[in-house]
Amino acid sequence: MKKGAEKELLWQSRFAEPFDREALLFSSSVDVDKALYQEDIRGSIAHVMMLSEEAIIPVEEARLIIEGLEEIEQEISSGALVPDWEDEDIHTVIENRLKEKIGPIAGKMHSGRSRNDQVAADTRLYMKRAIGELGNALKGLKKLLLEKAETYRHTIIFGYTHLQRAQPISAGHYYLAYFNMFQRDGERLHDLYKRVDISPLGAAAFAGSTLPLNAKRSMELLDFGGLFRNSIDAVSDRDTIIEFISACSIIMMHLSRFCEDMILWSTSEFNYLEISDAFSTGSSIMPQKKNADIAELVRGKTGRVYGDLMNILTVMKSLPLSYNRDMQEDKPPLFDASESTISSVRIFTKMLKHTKLNEERLAKLTGEDLSLATEIAEYLVRKDLPFREAHRVTGKIVTYALESGTALSKIPLETYREFSELFDQDIYDALKPETSINTKQSHGSTSFASVDEQIKAARSGLR
């Protein structure tokens, strides 16, 4: 907007008194919705083209409007045109600037269109773009997880339940667990896209228009896959925003769990993995510190995205049909959740790429740990001892190992036979981590053969 130009609010003609400046500042959304300027201009161009094709406005006037809008997009992109809060919102910024360029003809741009279906269209166009970006970021992460699973498929790590060492597993199996989580996230976005890809243009304020609008043509010009069915629902629905932020929240939850593993496993107490220095920070007072700050920040941003979900749910929970100004508050949580989630997925992927497992330490720990106790119980089951009895015998052996400070694989055979006559020399084969893993026969298990099959299936189903 030109310096010193009088600001004009698009709806003010009905009012005798000017809008209070403090009220305008309170209600202005331009600092937030300026992010939609490209979508807004694209939507306006499509609407004007449709108006021209339907002979609602002259072809030459449509040409002037479209050329002006294209120039304005360049002005905003280059920084030559800076939105001002006094313009109320980005739509006013664009229309007032267009009026400066081509005069009163600019007002014909709004023929048959309300701010309500205009904003709804802009928001859906933004969400289509955001879903694409987030989907691509997730695909990059999933590809990396498959690479990690391939690289470490024969590396043995501890599997945990209740944050206690449970059983030895293939590290590839671990990475594939997260792959499956993020695969479902991608499927959720893919499914959501169908509901976002609906054009609301032509619904007008909420009841439609007396002008012969061609809503289907507007849909085609904006590359929407479908058209709204009910004009009231078209402008008052925010389900897709809620669903998108919900999908973002689940993605962030998965990232946060992964980050928690990495934070714990990178400590000196665990020392299972090493995060590159490029994604770690130090202490301002303790020189020895190496902190997993990037992982911690991603974990922290999860709460922020959860807050965005509660924000939009609370805004919408008691709104009567159809449009209400409260809905202006849908943009901050939408933009924040989108930007936070996309950036988190991208930086996490980059960090994970530069993270290595401490294979030597893991091999030593898994070979001597009590997590092989389940193998003793199943060994006895294979000798035809009922599982409950096998569990009882194994529990006593674990107690002995703890009290004597002896690894399960180091307990003499005669000692094993004191607990049960069923033990023989082959018990020591069962107490090797590799044997524990490779004897797993059930579907989707951690055996090396199963992991190889899972990797193959994951590659073929990658989306």
Whether 235 and 347 share a structural domain:
yes
Q: Mark whether 100 and 133 lie in a shared domain.
A: no
The answer to whether residue 138 is domain-embedded is yes
| Cα–Cα distance, 343 to 260 (Å, whole number) | 18
- Give CA–CA dist 431/435, Å, rounded: 7
Residues 218, 201 contacting (CB under 8 angstroms):
yes
For residue 182, the one-letter residue type is: F
pLDDT band at 463 (very low <50, low <70, confident <90, very high): confident
Tokens of 260: 């928690």
| Tally: H helices and E strands in the chain | 19, 6
- Cβ burial 281-300 (10 Å sphere, 16+ → b, else e): eeeeeeeeeeebebbeebbe
The mean pLDDT value of the chain amounts to 93
Pairing state between β 198-199 and 156-161: unpaired
- Torsion (CA) 7, 10, 11, 17 in degrees, nearest 10: 20
pLDDT computed for residue 1 by the predictor? 41
**136 plus 253 within the same structural domain:** yes
| Residue 83 structural domain | 15-111
Cis peptide before 209, with omega less than 30 degrees from 0? no
- pLDDT over 80 at 10, yes or no: no
DSSP secondary structure string, 338-384? HHHHHHHHHHHHHHHHTEEE-HHHHHHHHHHSGGGHHHHHHHHHHTT
Q: Give the span between the Cα atoms of 159 and 436, in whole angstroms.
A: 12
Asked if residue 198 and residue 73 are part of one domain, the reply reads no
Tell me which of 6 and 93 has the higher pLDDT.
93
As given in the structure block, the two tokens for residue 379 are 């060994």
Helix (H) or strand (E) segment spanning residue 255: helix 239-265
The model carries a pTM of 0.91
* Residue 233 and residue 252 in one domain: yes
In a domain, 159, yes or no: no
The answer to the question of residue 9 being in a domain is: no
**Which of 305, 338, 357 is the endpoint of a domain?**
357
Identify the DSSP state of 273.
E
332 and 347 within one domain = yes
Regarding whether 455 and 326 lie in a shared domain, the answer is no
Nearest to 221 by CA among 366, 62, 57, 42: 42
pLDDT at 289: 86
Select from 313, 336, 357 the last residue of a domain. 357
Same domain, 104 and 208: no
Distance between start and end Cα atoms, the chain? 44
* pLDDT bracket for residue 85 (50, 70, 90): confident
The answer to whether 436 is a known catalytic residue is no
The residue whose two tokens read 């665990």 is 270
Q: Is 249 a catalytic residue?
A: no
Residue pLDDT, tens place only, 334-364: 999 999 999 999 999 999 999 999 999 999 9
Task: Say if residue 291 is in the same domain as residue 369.
Answer: no
Q: Provide the 8-state DSSP code for 291.
A: B
For residue 133, the domain's CATH number is 1.20.200.10
Residue 2 resides in a domain: no
Phi, psi of 166 (to 5 degrees): -110, -70
Q: 388 and 246, same structural domain?
A: no
Of the listed 13, 78, 162, 268, which one is catalytic?
A: 162
Same domain? For 320 and 454 the reply is no
Is 16 buried (19+), middle (13-18) or exposed (0-12) by CB count in 10 A? exposed
CATH number of 22's domain: 1.10.275.10
Count of C-beta atoms within a 10 Å radius of residue 410: 13
**Candidate from 11-20, 246-255, 413-422 with smallest mean pLDDT:** 11-20
| CA contacts within 13 A on the Cβ side of 375 | 25
Residue 311 domain flag: yes
Q: Let me know if residue 334 belongs to a domain.
A: yes
> Domain check: are 245 and 184 in the same one?
yes
Query: By the 8 A CB rule, do 207 and 231 touch?
Result: yes
CATH number of the domain encompassing residue 451: 1.10.40.30
**pLDDT tens digit sequence for 104-145:** 999 999 999 999 999 999 999 999 999 999 999 999 999 999
* % pLDDT > 90, the chain: 85
Decide if 164 is inside a domain.
no
Last residue of a domain, one of 338, 357, 376: 357
Q: How far is CA 92 from CA 25, 50, 51, 79, 104, in A?
A: 14, 21, 20, 17, 14
Would you call 405 helix, strand, or coil by DSSP?
coil
Domain assignment of residue 161, yes or no:
no
pLDDT cut 70: percent of the chain above it: 97
Q: So what's the pLDDT on residue 111?
A: 97
Given 27, 154, 173, 283, the catalytic residue = 283
List all residues 6 or more positions away from 429 whose beta carbon is below 8 Å from its beta carbon: 435
Count: domains in the chain: 3
